[in-house]
Amino acid sequence: MLRRIWEPLFMGRQLLLWLILGSGTGALVGVVVTYFLKLLFWSIHLTAQWPLWSIVLALPMGGLVTGLLIYYGAPDAAGHGTEAVIRAVHRESGKINWKVAPVKALATITTIAVGGSAGKEGPSAQIGAAVASALADLLRFSAEQRRRIVICGIGAGFAAVFGTPVAGAILGIEVLAIGNLWYEMLLPSFVSSVMAFEVAHQLGLTWNYPFRGSALPLSLGIIGKLVLFGIAAGLVAYVLVLMMEGLHRQVVRIRARWHWWPPLFPFVAGIMLAILMLIVGREYGGLSLHLFSSALSGHTVASWAFLWKMVFVAITLGLGMSGGIITPLFVIGSTLGVVLAGFLGIPLGDGAALGMIAVTASGANAPIAAIVMGMEIFGRMLAPEFLITAIPAFVMIGNHSVYPSQKVMMVKSPWVPLPLGISLEDAPQTALGAPWARNPVVDHDQDSTI
C-alpha cells in the first residue's frame, strides 16, 4: 500500500533523472556531431574544386583508405552506421566500442569527400550513440540504463543533422522496431534531441531546405493520386533495399569462397563508382545536395536521376564504404517525387517534398518520424498529404528495410508473416522467400517490448 501511495514520487524522481541525463547527453552529442559535420563540409568543399579526372583517381584510393580504417580501427563503422547501432541496442544493451566514433567520422569523410554516395546522418547517429555509450561507461550504468542513454544519443545525432528535434527524437526510437514505439523513452529522447539541436545551432550549424510548394486542395481525385504516389515511392525503396541486400550477399559469398581481404571491397566500390562517374557525371556521388535542392525548389530533374542515385548508393554502402542512408533516401525520394509530380499533375515542389517523406517512411520503416519530419521542415500545410503518401509507401515495402537489424513487432504482411520479436536479418529465408507458404509460424506470445 505504501508503495502505491508513494509511486508518483518515485516516478517523478525517475523522470527528473532522465531529463537531466538526456540533456547532458544531447549537449555532448551536439558538440561532437557539429564539429564532425563542419569537418565533413570543409572536405566536401575542398574536393568540389577538383576536376573529374582527379575524383576518378581518388575514388578507389578513398575506398581503400576507408576499408583500412574500418578493418583495423572499428569493423562496426562499416556501412551506414545506424544499422550497427540498432544491432548494439538489441544484442549488446547499447554497448559500443569508443573507437567507433573517430573511425566512423574519418571513414565517412574519406568516403563522401572523394565521391562515395552516402549520407551524413548515419555516422552522426552512430557517433552520438558511441558518445552516449562512453558516458554510460564513465557513470557505470547498468545494461538497461546504458540502452536508454544510447537511444538518447541516437535521437540527438539525428536532430543535430537534420535540424528536426521532434522527428529526431521519434526516429531514434522508431528505427529500433517495426510497429512499436518505446513510449517511456519519448521524453528523454526529445530532451536530448532539443539540447543537441540548440547546441549545434549555437555552434553555427544551419539547416536550409529550399521549398516551393503549397497545400493541395484535397479531393477524391487528389487522394487517389497521392495513394498511387505512395505506392510508387514504396516500390522504389523496396528496389533499393534489394540492390543493397544483393551486393551484401555477394560480398559474403566472395569472402567465404575466395577469402578476399575485406578492405578490397571498398576499393572495388571506388573503381565501380569511378567508372560510373565517367559515364553519367559526378552529380550522383557524395551527398548530391544540389539535386535535392533543385527538386525542392520546384525545378525539373533528369527522369532517371533517382535510379542513378540508387545505383551509386547501393554500390557505396553495399560494398562496405562508410556513410548514412537517410540523406540518400531524401535525394532519391525528392528526385522521384518531381518525376511523379509531373506525371500526376502535382506541383513539382510538392512532389519533391512528398517523395522525400514517402521514400524515407518506407525505406526506414519509420512513417511517424517521417511525417513529423515533413511538418517540421516544410510546415503543417502538407501534413495530410504526407500521411496519405507515407502510409502506402510504408505498407508496400513489406518485410524489408534499409535497417535489417530492426525487430519485427507487427505482422506487416499477412502473406509473409514473420515471428514477432525477431530481427529482419534473422528471419527465416523460407518465410521471406515463400509467400505461398500455407502455415507460417507466428509467435504471438513474444514480449511486445523493445
Total number of domains constituting the chain: 2
State yes or no: pLDDT of 6 exceeds 70. Answer: no
Which pLDDT belongs to residue 417?
Answer: 77
381 in any annotated domain: yes
> Quick one: 180 and 244 in the same domain?
no
Which pLDDT belongs to residue 448?
Answer: 36
Do residues 168 and 154 lie in contact, with contact meaning Cβ atoms separated by under 8 Å?
no
Which of 169, 202, 235 represents a domain boundary (last residue)? 202
pLDDT tier for residue 449 given thresholds of 50, 70 and 90 = very low
3-state secondary structure string, 27-40? HHHHHHHHHHHHHH
Do residues 224 and 186 lie in contact, with contact meaning Cβ atoms separated by under 8 Å?
no
Mean pLDDT of 104-127: 92
> Quick one: 192 and 44 in the same domain?
yes
> Quick one: 192 and 238 in the same domain?
no
Domain residues for the domain of 92 are: 8-202
CATH number of the CATH domain containing 247? 1.10.3080.10
326 in any annotated domain: yes
State yes or no: pLDDT of 4 exceeds 80. Answer: no
State yes or no: pLDDT of 410 exceeds 50. Answer: yes
Give me the percent of the chain exceeding a pLDDT of 70.
93
> Quick one: 319 and 385 in the same domain?
yes
> Quick one: 179 and 233 in the same domain?
no
State yes or no: pLDDT of 32 exceeds 90. Answer: yes
Mean pLDDT of 114-142: 91
> Quick one: 196 and 231 in the same domain?
no
> Quick one: 165 and 304 in the same domain?
no
pTM as predicted: 0.92
pLDDT tier for residue 288 given thresholds of 50, 70 and 90 = very high
> Quick one: 147 and 174 in the same domain?
yes
Which of 396, 423, 440 represents a domain boundary (last residue)? 396
Which pLDDT belongs to residue 53?
Answer: 93
Q: Report the chain's mean pLDDT, rounded to a whole number.
A: 89
State yes or no: pLDDT of 273 exceeds 90. Answer: yes
Question: Judging by beta carbons within 10 Å of its beta carbon (0-12, 13-18, 19+), is residue 49 exposed, middle or buried?
Answer: exposed
DSSP bridge pairs for 178: 408
70 in any annotated domain: yes
> Quick one: 226 and 154 in the same domain?
no
Which pLDDT belongs to residue 183?
Answer: 87
Mean pLDDT of 69-94: 83
Q: Between 327 and 440, whose confidence is greater?
A: 327
State yes or no: pLDDT of 358 exceeds 90. Answer: yes
114 in any annotated domain: yes
> Quick one: 22 and 95 in the same domain?
yes
H helix runs in 116-185, sequence order: 121-139, 143-162, 165-174
Closest to 21 in 3D by CA, of 234, 191, 240, 212: 191
247 in any annotated domain: yes
Ramachandran bin of 434, using left for φ above 0, alpha for ψ from -120 to 50, beta for the remaining angles: beta
Which pLDDT belongs to residue 2?
Answer: 61
143 in any annotated domain: yes
> Quick one: 249 and 302 in the same domain?
yes
3-state secondary structure of 79: strand
Number of continuous H segments (helices) and E segments (strands) in the chain:
17, 2
For 216-258, how does the pLDDT look when each residue is reduced to its tens digit (9 = 90+)? 888 999 999 999 999 999 999 999 999 999 998 999 999 889 9
> Quick one: 232 and 186 in the same domain?
no
107 in any annotated domain: yes
Which pLDDT belongs to residue 437?
Answer: 36
Mean pLDDT of 413-440: 65
The CB density around residue 259, as the number of other CB atoms within 10 Å, is 7
Which of 354, 369, 396 represents a domain boundary (last residue)? 396
416 in any annotated domain: no
Mean pLDDT of 272-291: 95
